[in-house]
Structure 1
């Protein structure tokens, strides 16, 4: 996802819905830098990004999500749950 101004993965938040199929990615960059003399505006680009993505299959929330931020692009990698599960018979 294109996220200009976002420089670290700590600026990215990922939420998974209760059905484990929808994720919300929120990224926010800071555009102001204060020093002793003035406030410097670093950019006039959008500073908050939010996108909802619906997957055709459930996300495996037992595995961590890998996030990489590089040159204003945020990439997130998810593990998807397999379609079939073995059930224990008691």
Structure 2
């Protein structure tokens, strides 16, 4: 799992509506990422433990859904902004 950006440097120097939406998801992604790392470590230590596998799969699913929600929210706002900008031309 890649290192997670700290709260202090996420979107630093950027002040846009879309970045604000992404920042809103950042705390959840950070906590889910930490939980995912811990679940992966537990699974690696005991790969035959069905509860460790179930825990990892559940957290991975939640992390994936959260990231998809973040991506969808940002994309929707980007599309709306692009549509507005194209109508101004």
| TM bracket (short chain) | under 0.3
Give the structure-2-normalised TM-score.
0.25
